[in-house]
Structure 1
Amino acid sequence: MTTMAPRRRRLWAAIALGAIALVLAAGAITAAVLSRAPEDATGKDMRGNSVRLEPGSGLTPQVIHDMNAVADSGDRFRVPSVGLDVPLGALDMTHGTITPPGFASAYDVRNLGVPLSQAPTGTVFVATHSLRNGAVGPGNYLIDVKAQKAKVAVGATIDVADVAYSVTGAKAIGKLDISSDADVWANVPGRLVVITCLQRRDGRASTQNMVITAQLDAH
């Protein structure tokens, strides 16, 4: 049985109570290409386009400070079957939210589940943006917008900082429902959960998250 540190244990208790207002699930994981001046942008997508968070993201200066985000930890997040290879960053869930501040990295959520160094003992959580209106984030590689499903097939490899997982499934979950979905937040030995937005065919703001699960490869 894995013993979690007090802070991590408190966070899991909050999730069990449905107290997490996951900003990934509240619109902040989508973005639009800016047509305004570059200084209005909050970041760049994978093609260098200026993008901004959807209104109501809650990404205040205090939240940015408290999440202690790093866009590139020196490791990579790779999904070879869809051609995705991006920097792996890291952040802390803070103020009850997870909002990656960058649009071209995948982010390990440090204070949920277990760290990658303890991957066999629990669930590793990774969050990343998918974008709309022509912008491209890592999450766009993971979703099939036309078919409204995950692009990553069962059995495909996801490599997180050279830790290899095999995809076991994927499901779309409404943004208002994800925080109370016990299956998503269960701390399962050797599991990976990747969360991004499922964009809509008509280009309007996303209303669902795509949750991709994978299991640690046996050695």
Structure 2
Amino acid sequence: MGRRTAAVARRRRPGPVRLVIALLLCVVAVVAGGVAMSAYLGGSGRPTDMRGNPVDLPAPSRAVQQRTDAVAQVAGMTLRVPSAGLTVPLGELNEVDGVIDPPAFSSAYLVRNYGTQLAHAGLGTVFVVMHSCRGGAVCPGNYLTDLTAGTASVAVGADVYVGGLHYRVTGSETVYKPDVHTDAALWANVPGRLVLLTCLQTPAQTASVDNLVVTAQLVRTR
């Protein structure tokens, strides 16, 4: 989503991405705010948050069932933010028909068909999305949020490791959910940039109205 360098010109352009991401990155313990596909991939039981709390989901629509092949795990790869105490498995997913829907509540996900991929991270933006939770559940996005301040919990200069890549945080901002899909700066394909995107929960644990965006810049491969 956004302007591309020549090397990644075949990646998808933003367009009006109805981006249901604004709604699907926030879930509640016991009752989820969106459908997570992992619950339907193999009938292996209810999904759980990072503390093992079960998350019950509504029955998936046919459209959601048809998107299950757009998700994959990346063996052995993780997202790590040491200053926030966050280490989670890293998967991959596609935006499909304007929907970015992380399939689990204890992993982060690279968005394959926006920006660029890890192998070409120096040429564009790598987008990573994850759920945050309220109502007692803990998802990866909760580690990035300072609920009291309503801001990111990670400071400028903090280290972020995505797979074998090392980034440093350059800033953070909140974006009103209805504005996410039209935010040209957010979706611009900037060389060497990382964007971490999740829901910004509220101290009162009411419905979230903003997304939290943490940006970082590539330091080196390792």
Which residues in structure 2 correspond to 1:46-65 (within 5 Å)?
46-52=50-56, 60-65=64-69
* From 105, 118, 126, the counterpart of 2:107: 105
1:24 aligns with 2:17: no
* Alpha-carbon distance between aligned partners in 1 of 2:139 and 2:27, rounded to the nearest angstrom: 9
1:197 aligned partner: 199
Superposition deviation, residue 57 in structure 1? 10
Q: How does 1:77-96 map to 2 (within 5 A)?
A: 77-96=79-98
- When residues 72 and 53 of structure 1 are mapped into structure 2, their CA distance, relative to the original with a 3 A threshold, is farther
Mapped contact 2:131–2:139 kept (Cα < 8 A): yes
Give 3-state SS (helix, strand or coil) of 1:203's partner: coil
SS at match of 1:120: helix
> Which of 115, 118, 132 is 1:116 aligned to?
118
Return the match for 2:169 from 157, 161, 167: 167
**Displacement, 1:59?**
7.1
Give the alignment's Cα RMSD to 1 decimal.
2.5
TM-score normalised over the length of structure 1:
0.86
Is the 8 Å Cα contact of residues 197 and 212 (structure 2) preserved in structure 1? yes
Unaligned runs of at least 5 residues, structure 2: 32-38
Deviant stretches of 4+, over 4 Å: 52-59
Count of residue pairs brought into register by the alignment: 206
**8 A contact 2:166–2:220 mirrored in 1:** no
CA apart distance, 1:64? 2.9
Change (3 A) 1:59 1:82: farther
Question: Residues 203, 31 of structure 1: CA spacing in aligned structure 2 closer, same or farther, 3 A cutoff?
Answer: same
Structure 1 residues 197 and 217 mapped into 2: Cα distance closer, same or farther (>3 Å)? same
